[in-house]
Structure 1
Amino acid sequence: MRLLLPLLALLAGPAAAQATFDVIDGRGDLLGWEAVGRLDAAGAFCTGALIAPDIVLTAAHCVFTPDGTPRPPESLTFRAGYFRGTEVVAQRVRRWVVPPTYVKRPHPTHETVAVDVALLKLEAPVTSAEADPFRLLQGAPEGSAVTVLSYGKGREEVLSREPSCAVTAHYADDVLGFDCDVTFGSSGAPVFLREDGRLRILSVISSVGGGMAYGPGIAALVPDLAARLRNEDARPPVGTGARRITVGDARGETGARFVRP
């Protein structure tokens, strides 16, 4: 196991530019991928995926503005199966939660990548007829074939799939390295691995650099975040507005039009 991410990985930018990817350029081609969607905010977007009818998994840095201010949940909209201005279903976010150890930085570091995960609670559940949520995977050895689906710069109107990349490195704190084709806008994109014939989510795209993409292992992070959302649901409502869970330092930056991975 490698101890830390290489220094070059701290410089955000497109990874694996020579790789090939499939553009899902047809509504019918989205069949089976409807639970992957675009997370739209003012002046920016990320990629996310349903892991429960009303919960979206994405990267923690996606819920901050370019100057590091936490985004109000109601300013975020998840568009499941987004395709050229339409979607299978669109839901606004009621609240979001990130790990208590996540600290926003001007540039990604090993520490931020390790916990760069957010769960978003939607205003209403997405029905199974609209999109089936994906399950999570516990882990995968180096060399395991993975698939990344994302909305990226230059292809933000359609979903793109990188079908032939792999887990290429394991780092401390369960950070994973991939040789996948991602770019700005791919932040929060699910990294899939096939298990027993079914696709499971292994990680989300957090950072890129040096021809590599990086993401946190999510098996230990997501259950804790989901429990915090459930605890919040159980509390009596206070006031008229939805409560937002925000933690960590809000100082930092992400991209403007395309949220940087």
Structure 2
Amino acid sequence: MTRIFLCVVLFFSVLASSLQAQNSGKRRLTDRDDLYGWEAVGRLDIGNQGFCTGTLIAQDTVLTAAHCALDKKTGKPYAPGEVTFRAGLSDGEALADRKVIQIAVHPDFVANAPVSIPRIRIDVALMRLEEPIPYSIADPFALHNGRVPDGEISVASYGRGRADAITRQRSCRILQRAEGIISFNCDVTFGSSGSAILARSGPRWQILSVTSAMSTDGRYKVGYGMELAGIVAELKAILRRDAPRPVATIRRLQPGSAKSGSGAKFISSGGS
């Protein structure tokens, strides 16, 4: 850690000791009624290596932390199919399972670098799914834009000791928001990495930040995330630029027939 980051951690750890206990307002979302409105939150299963939390921001796009998206051994994004997004996972059953086929992270993010303020600012990843998840199953969250006047936020995540269902903390608080970093007193833990920090906008919550790191004084935790607008726009551009191209296949058709045969050859994008 840099000296600046250590100072930030120590300052907020002391501040957190005066805050309300962090287990207040937490609820485990298990049945369909509990999950209503939170179906877009899912567990990202990374092979046999563990899991993080991700959130749909489009039918085929998951927002999470960059350190959840890179293989620590190679420093590169996980290969297509290595990560599975399990929307609304509860007690072994997901509303939808989708393989991740493309990952975008900031080019300056280094998988095994120590935690620092510059690293937290870019600890964001977008993951493209093999197939969109219909709105009838999960309604993606929008990004929050602007201030949060009362500082009230919420988090819904998986984590150590609560890996089998979403745990939602209904209300926690922003501690400070400056220099591209947002610190908060939500109860995050291992596995909560990548979870969306949510701020209310009208009747629904929107994504303010993504959980990147935490500190603790042994009793209270302080979480850290980043401002999203700029980096998410960059990552969307990377997804578009590097999107997998559909594979062209050859199909033989007989004239005047839909049956395969020895007639003219047609190129069909994506197969048929």
TM-score of Structure 1 vs Structure 2, range by shorter chain: 0.7 to 0.9
Shift of 1:111: 1.1
Please give the per-residue CA displacement for 1:60-83, whole angstroms capped at 9, x wherever unaligned.
000123445432131000000111
Larger radius of gyration: 2
Q: Which runs of 5+ in 1 are unaligned?
A: 240-261
Letter of the 1:23 counterpart: R
- Cα distance in structure 2, aligned partners of 1:9 and 1:137: 25
Shift of 1:164: 1.5
1:190 and 2:200 correspond: no
- Cα distance in structure 2, aligned partners of 1:143 and 1:4: 27
Higher strand share: 2
Aligned residue among 61, 64, 80 for 1:73: 80
Would you say the 8 A contact 1:142–1:168 is kept in 2? no
Letter of the 2:181 counterpart: V
Tell me the equivalent position of 1:122: 129
Aligned residue among 56, 65, 82 for 1:59: 65
Distance change in 2, residues 1:5/1:163 (3 Å): farther
Would you say the 8 A contact 1:4–1:171 is kept in 2? no
After TM superposition, the structure 1 = structure 2 runs for residues 164-183 of structure 1, keeping only pairs within 5 Å, are: 164-172=171-179, 174-183=180-189
Letter of the 1:72 counterpart: A
Shift of 1:102: 1.4
Aligned residue among 76, 92, 95 for 1:88: 95
Letter of the 1:84 counterpart: D
Q: Which runs of 5+ in 2 are unaligned?
A: 11-15, 249-272
1:113 and 2:116 correspond: no
Which structure has more relative contact order (CA 8 Å, sep 6+)? It is: 1
Tell me the equivalent position of 1:258: none
Q: TM-score scaled by structure 1?
A: 0.81
Greater Cα offset, 118-127 or 134-143: 134-143
Letter of the 1:203 counterpart: S
Letter of the 1:87 counterpart: A
Would you say the 8 A contact 2:72–2:112 is kept in 1? no
Tell me the equivalent position of 2:260: none
Shift of 1:196: 1.9
Letter of the 1:191 counterpart: I
User: Alignment partner of 2:242: what SS?
Assistant: helix
Aligned length: 232
**Cα root mean square deviation, aligned:** 2.5
Q: TM-score scaled by structure 2?
A: 0.78
After TM superposition, the structure 1 = structure 2 runs for residues 108-257 of structure 1, keeping only pairs within 5 Å, are: 108-141=115-148, 143-172=150-179, 174-210=180-216, 211-233=221-243, 236=245
